[in-house]
Structure 1
Amino acid sequence: MTRTPETPLPSPKECRRLREAQSLSQADVAAVLGVTRATVRSWENGRTTPRGTNRDAYVRLLTGAQKVTPHQEHPAPALVGAATGPVQASPDRAEPAPEPPSETPPASELAPEPDPELDPDPPPGPEPELGSELSPEAESEPLSPSLTPDQAFDALYAFCAPALVRQTYLLTGRRELARESVECAFQLAWYRWPEVAMDRDPAGWVRATAHEFALSPWHRLRPRHRNPEPPPAAPADRALLDVLLQLPPVYRRTLLLYDGVGLDLPETAAETEASTPAAANRLLHAREAVATRLPELAEPKELHRRLAEVASAERLHAAKPTTVRWGGEQRARRWTRAAIAFTVVLIGATTLTLRTAPDHYEPPLAPGATVHGVPPRVAPGPLSAEQLALRAKLKGETVSGPERLVPEAG
């Protein structure tokens, strides 16, 4: 039995160029092929490759053999790139099957509260969800060249920070740590802004940094994090958060990225630095642990909805982007000054060592040698009777003795 060769597929960079040449967004390609937008994004990032009929249809679409109207109307899920279907544990089926968009919960049920600190006068409409990322049009061109670095950073922060704070809260169960993790992640992003601005997924870069900082084991040594924070007020939210915090950190993060944020399995595995089968096993075990304690959340779509509700109920607010940028610049200045001070101290210590160190070789002292022919030193022995009598006589005649001993004044 012979095997039919697969259709030649261009490189990921060429696939993206061909798609943009036809004025198609990733959502348009996903709607035509019947896959999620996150799957198309992973194809263009080179993380996965299409197979079978999807590969042939994808190549025909890129080469123009199949005409598609740009920005055609198609139902979109409530969470961008949501993938809440069952996970296949077999390695050859690494990507979970997407659910029909019609079964996705409406956006009105999952929309969190607006953030008054970032936008005093928010426009009408729902705020980005727990798993919301950049829109397909914004993702094809993440940062406009016409924006200044400050404006581009502020736009990225205002769009991603509110949802990212809620995600981090589900990871840690601590409100202050969630805000601190997001601020530190964006401060690092501002410090490395040229690298982040050129990244294909700036929101994913910041998200991965914030999650890694939040799950750092060194936080347990900090005095402010030794005491637990007040739990959520609702008993159902408190029960779900307790179940999440009892999971191992890697299981908790995998469950949040897949069922909360809506990443597909290869992207979840890449962000958690694991293989796709390992990420699938972690996800299955995490779902099983949640379903054991909370049977009503055995359905992935219900778990996704409850995660969004718990995260939105806390009304967590992120700091303003100008404050984050200022804090990042101040931290960079402090580290720069500390590095300069350490360098100066090192140079001073080196100079002092060079000034006080010997400038020529001094041979060590030779070991001592025995000298022969010298009589030994004899210690005085006991006094005889005559010597004792003489000493007593001299002591007695010292005051009124002869003139040679005590001279008298003339």
Structure 2
Amino acid sequence: MTQTPAIPLPPPRARRRLREAASLTQAQLAARVGVSRETVRAWETGRTTPRGRKGEAYARLLDSLADPATEMTGHQQAEAEGPRPAEADVEAVARSAGSVDDGPSAGGRGAEPPALTPAQAFDALYAFCAPALVRQAYLLTGRRDLARESVERAFQRAWERWPEVARDRDPAGWVRAAAYEYALSPWHRFRLRHRHREPPAADPSARVLLAVMRKLPPPHRRTLLLYDGVGLNLPETAAETEATTPAAANRLMRAREAVAARLPELADPGELHRKLGEAASAERLRAAGAPAVRTGSERRARFWTRAAIAFTVALIGTTALALRTAPTRYEPPVPAGEAVRGLPPRVAPGALSDEELRLRAALREEWRSGPDRLVPLER
């Protein structure tokens, strides 16, 4: 049975700050603790909680790094003391849905945050995830408008299914998967507004990286962004892309090879991770406000509800009209005509020959003086 470390662990964001303040990479810290770099990445993003002997070693190492970190600026100290309000709200949503383990929190806070209303919980999740999701969608598509639209549509779907999303173990992952699917939909190529090119990125290196990313197949592009950009481990990346772990590893390897072939300086995964972050942060991408997204979701729901009602009414009216005009008895169909033997085929009248014209003229002149049998009887 695993136990929590005796030394309280700081919040995930503070763990990363402590490591960066000590000028340590994730690989160096992982070597000291005796775990993989992916595990350290998951600990720093808050996806997994350090436990057992490795967790105790990780907590002792962070505690030893806390002394040199006291020289950080006031803004960094505020982040190291605890998560931002949006993070606390998201954590409260997760706790209310039963998705967080019982017991003290990672930061040593004993009291749980108060319960939130659905609108407040949605706004907290949106404020926490939307800015990063817009940048990720921009890396996937290379289009600013489509990136914002993808995130808004994903959160609109989340608001429509909020009871399901609120109880999900990873609400941010649910919204991210929906945004990625909408951004990579092949139907966007048929839209008129997406046939026009947008202004390229201002940074030349970011422009080249985005061009290389867009040439990758969508599954490879998504796998590369999740693993090297977001920081998921391989099983989590495979689960989110609905692929097996070997298939996700193969996609990641091929995507890295394609990027390294065009940009050799990005062959190092750490450098690729840094460059992806810089390319996404270089653009000023702003998402709409959370109330506007909720209002748009409700408006779309009302529109489709009214459309369904109108379609149902039209269907009922068509059915009633068909029942009103339908015959009440059986009427056999008219049989097709049959050919009769012995009768010459009907020939359309044509022009008379010279002989026929002379015969007609003679008949018209002499029929009165002809035999009696040819004279019609007069009454």
The TM-score normalised by the length of structure 1 is 0.62
Other-structure match for 1:332? 301
Amino acid at match of 2:298: E
Other-structure match for 2:108? none
Give CA-to-partner distance per residue, 1:238-288, whole Å, 9 cap, x none: 111111111111111111000000000011111111111111111111111
Partner Cα distance (1:199, 1:291) in 2: 37
For 1:257-296, what aligned pairs fall within 5 Å after superposition? 257-296=226-265
For 1:253-402, what aligned pairs fall within 5 Å after superposition? 253-365=222-334, 388-389=365-366
Partner Cα distance (1:384, 1:241) in 2: 95
2:42 to 34, 38, 59: 38
| Closer/same/farther in 2, CA of residues 72 and 354 from structure 1, 3 Å limit | same
Partner Cα distance (2:231, 2:327) in 1: 68
SS of structure 2 residue aligned to 1:154? helix
| Closer/same/farther in 2, CA of residues 139 and 363 from structure 1, 3 Å limit | closer
SS of structure 1 residue aligned to 2:197? coil
Partner Cα distance (2:306, 2:212) in 1: 44
Are the counterparts in 2 of residues 133 and 203 from structure 1 also a CA contact under 8 Å? Answer: no
Other-structure match for 2:207? 238
Amino acid at match of 1:260: G
Partner Cα distance (1:269, 1:73) in 2: 32
Partner Cα distance (1:303, 1:160) in 2: 22
Other-structure match for 2:27? none
Are the counterparts in 2 of residues 167 and 311 from structure 1 also a CA contact under 8 Å? Answer: yes
The structural deviation recorded for 1:365 is 4.7
Other-structure match for 2:95? 141
Amino acid at match of 1:191: E
The structural deviation recorded for 1:38 is 3.4
Q: Is structure 2 residue 132 aligned with structure 1 residue 163?
A: yes
Partner Cα distance (1:67, 1:385) in 2: 127
Partner Cα distance (1:250, 1:388) in 2: 97
Give CA-to-partner distance per residue, 1:175-216, whole Å, 9 cap, x none: 000000000000000000010000000000000000010000
Other-structure match for 1:247? 216
Judge which range, 140-149 or 152-161, deviates more.
Answer: 140-149
Are the counterparts in 2 of residues 25 and 137 from structure 1 also a CA contact under 8 Å? Answer: no
Number of matched pairs:
301
| Structure 2 unmatched runs, 5+ | 16-29, 64-71, 81-85, 98-112, 341-358, 370-377
Give CA-to-partner distance per residue, 1:95-144, whole Å, 9 cap, x none: xxxxxxxxxxxx99xx9xxxxxxxxxxx9769xxxxx9999966862767
Are the counterparts in 1 of residues 34 and 54 from structure 2 also a CA contact under 8 Å? Answer: no
Are the counterparts in 1 of residues 92 and 116 from structure 2 also a CA contact under 8 Å? Answer: no
Amino acid at match of 2:198: E
Give CA-to-partner distance per residue, 1:212-243, whole Å, 9 cap, x none: 10000000000111121111111111111111
| Closer/same/farther in 2, CA of residues 73 and 222 from structure 1, 3 Å limit | farther
For 1:86-165, what aligned pairs fall within 5 Å after superposition? 141=95, 146-165=115-134
Other-structure match for 1:225? 194
Partner Cα distance (2:118, 2:270) in 1: 38
For 1:49-60, what aligned pairs fall within 5 Å after superposition? none
SS of structure 2 residue aligned to 1:141? helix
The structural deviation recorded for 1:321 is 0.1
Amino acid at match of 2:185: S
Query: CA-atom RMSD, angstroms?
Result: 4.5
| Structure 1 unmatched runs, 5+ | 1-8, 10-14, 45-56, 77-106, 112-122, 127-131, 372-381, 393-403, 406-410
Amino acid at match of 1:238: R
Are the counterparts in 1 of residues 135 and 280 from structure 2 also a CA contact under 8 Å? Answer: yes
The TM-score normalised by the length of structure 2 is 0.67
Amino acid at match of 1:38: A
Greater RCO (Cα-Cα under 8 Å, separation 6 or more):
1
Are the counterparts in 2 of residues 291 and 298 from structure 1 also a CA contact under 8 Å? Answer: yes
| Closer/same/farther in 2, CA of residues 33 and 135 from structure 1, 3 Å limit | farther
Other-structure match for 1:102? none
The structure carrying a bigger helix percent of its residues is: 2
| Closer/same/farther in 2, CA of residues 33 and 370 from structure 1, 3 Å limit | closer
Partner Cα distance (1:246, 1:133) in 2: 35
